[in-house]
Amino acid sequence: MADVLDLGFSPCPNDTFIFHALVHGLVPNAPRVRARLEDVETLNQLARKAVLELTKISYHAFGHLRRDYLLLRSGGALGRGCGPLLVSRPGTDLEELYAKPVAIPGELTTANLLLRLFEPRLER
């Protein structure tokens, strides 16, 4: 095992709170880590290249990377009523969106997977 493990996580408040003690050496007997803060799609792509020993990734990305990474027993965040959201101007019908591009946070993000499951005809 390396003397210092590279740990990837996002700069969102949840992640910085969760990893604060580990990053700052406050967890007894824990390995030393070097933090790398990136957006989730960048972390997904770094995981595809096996750059980081420990990293946050999307559930969608994990489906592609399950042979290379193991899930920890804690730390997942997915819930009802907390996004992702498809937003448009009031009164817009879903059919009107078929001819318009929809912004996504990244190809391997769970938001993209859920959007494809919800309505595969939308252009990303």
Q: Which of 57, 64, 75 is nearest to 18 (CA)?
A: 75
Beta bridge partners of 77: none
Omega of the bond leading into 84 within 30 degrees of 0 (cis) = yes
Q: 12-36 pLDDT, tens per residue?
A: 998 999 999 999 999 999 999 999 9
Q: Is 114 part of any domain?
A: no
What is the rounded average pLDDT for all residues in the chain? 91
How many domains does the structure of the chain reveal?
1
The predicted-structure confidence for 27-72, as pLDDT tens digits, reads as follows: 999 999 999 999 999 999 999 999 999 999 999 999 999 999 998 8
Backbone angles phi, psi at 53, to 5 degrees: -75, -40
Residue 91 located in a structural domain: no
Domain membership flag for residue 28: yes
Taking a C-beta distance cutoff of 8 angstroms, is the pair 109, 60 a contact?
Answer: yes
In a domain, 76, yes or no: no
- 8 domain residue, yes or no: yes
What integer pLDDT is reported at residue 75 of this predicted model?
72
Q: Where are any strands of DSSP class E within the chain? A: 4-9, 32-37, 54-55
Q: What are phi and psi of 35, to 5 degrees?
A: -75, 140
**Residue 55 belongs to what domain range?**
4-65
By C-alpha distance, which of 64, 18, 16, 17 is closest to 36?
16
Judge whether 45 lies within some domain: yes
CATH no. for residue 40? Answer: 3.40.190.10
Residue 120 lies in a domain: no
Name the pLDDT band for 1 (thresholds 50, 70, 90).
low
Strand arrangement of the beta sheet that strand 54-55 belongs to: 32-37, 4-9, 54-55
- Asked if the structure places residue 13 within a domain, the reply is yes
